[in-house]
């Protein structure tokens, strides 16, 4: 990222903070703590071990759910994309589940598993795996048939074609799915804590809300916003590193 872009981003954040401060000082923002009060509360919270424990639980659950959904989603997507029989057998089920938000199964998971980290992990897994499956299937289908025919003409077997032709062709689709799924994993983890009582920052927000501790509540929301920026930044960096050979990234560099 260029220095000018970083500077403009910093100016935008400073303007947003100033707007927050001004709105909180007006009668319409009476229920909202000022930006400076929120920062002061955040400085107090980060000095305690409870904050870091909740932060570690949130990041751990989100990453575990993201990685497990990626492993399962890519394998299932390759299987469905490579074999028409699997595709036709699962198409209706996947299209049915695709618009279902993960929060729908939250009451069922809480009933079975309770407000635990396992419940939050399963919710994140469900929230991420379907889009990874669908994008992987699209990537497998997008493989150039001429490239596959050429590989066959050179005597490559099915596994070798999958590894050397199909997977590289599907990688941009998988990379996009992972970049989109990364913030989703964080959001669903927070929802699991906020509405399902799971461990992490979502549960801390719920406790702050119930106690009427609004400076702490807004401080935690601020932390989640920064955490989301970190997740998105890391996902984009990983995508750029893994797909540096792809034409779109080569053109972007030029």
Q: What is the predicted pLDDT for the residue at 120?
A: 93
Q: Residue 159 — φ and ψ, nearest 5°? A: -65, -40
For residues 115 and 196, is the Cβ–Cβ distance under 8 A?
yes
> What per-residue string of b and e applies to 133-148 under the rule 16 or more CB within 10 Å gives b?
bbbbbbbbeebeeeeb
What is the per-residue pLDDT across 137-155, written as a single tens digit (0 to 9) for each? 999 988 888 988 888 888 8
Locate 109 and state its tokens: 């998971």
Has residue 1 got a pLDDT over 70?
A: no
pLDDT over 80 at 28, yes or no:
no
pLDDT digits (tens, 9 = 90+) for 41-70: 899 988 888 999 999 999 999 999 999 999
Q: What does the alpha-carbon distance between residue 103 and residue 201 come to, in Å, rounded to a whole number? A: 17
Integer Cα distance of 137 and 134 in angstroms: 5
| 251 has a pLDDT exceeding 60 | no
């Amino acid at each position: 990222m260029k220095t000018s872009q970083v500077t403009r981003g910093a100016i935008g954040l400073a303007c947003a903070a100033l707007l927050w401060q001004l709105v909180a000082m007006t009668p319409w923002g009476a229920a909202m703590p000022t930006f400076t009060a929120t920062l002061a509360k955040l400085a107090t919270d980060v000095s305690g071990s409870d904050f870091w424990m909740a932060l570690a639980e949130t990041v751990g659950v989100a990453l575990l759910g993201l990685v497990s959904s990626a492993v399962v989603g890519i394998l299932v997507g390759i299987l469905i994309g490579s074999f028409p029989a699997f595709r036709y057998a699962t198409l209706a089920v996947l299209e049915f589940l695709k618009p279902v938000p993960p929060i729908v199964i939250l009451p069922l998971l809480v009933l079975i598993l309770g407000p635990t980290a396992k419940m939050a992990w399963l919710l994140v897994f469900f929230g991420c795996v379907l889009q990874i499956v669908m994008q992987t299937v699209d990537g497998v289908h997008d493989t150039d048939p001429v490239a596959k025919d050429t590989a066959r003409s050179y005597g490559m077997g099915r596994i070798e074609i999958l590894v050397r032709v199909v997977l590289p062709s599907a990688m941009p689709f998988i990379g996009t799915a992972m970049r989109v799924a990364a913030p989703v994993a964080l959001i669903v983890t927070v929802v699991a804590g906020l509405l399902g009582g799971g461990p992490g920052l979502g549960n801390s927000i719920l406790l702050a809300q119930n106690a009427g501790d609004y400076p702490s509540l807004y401080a935690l929301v601020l932390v989640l916003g920064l955490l989301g920026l970190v997740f998105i930044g890391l996902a984009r960096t990983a995508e750029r590193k893994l797909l540096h050979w792809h034409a779109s990234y080569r053109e972007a560099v030029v």
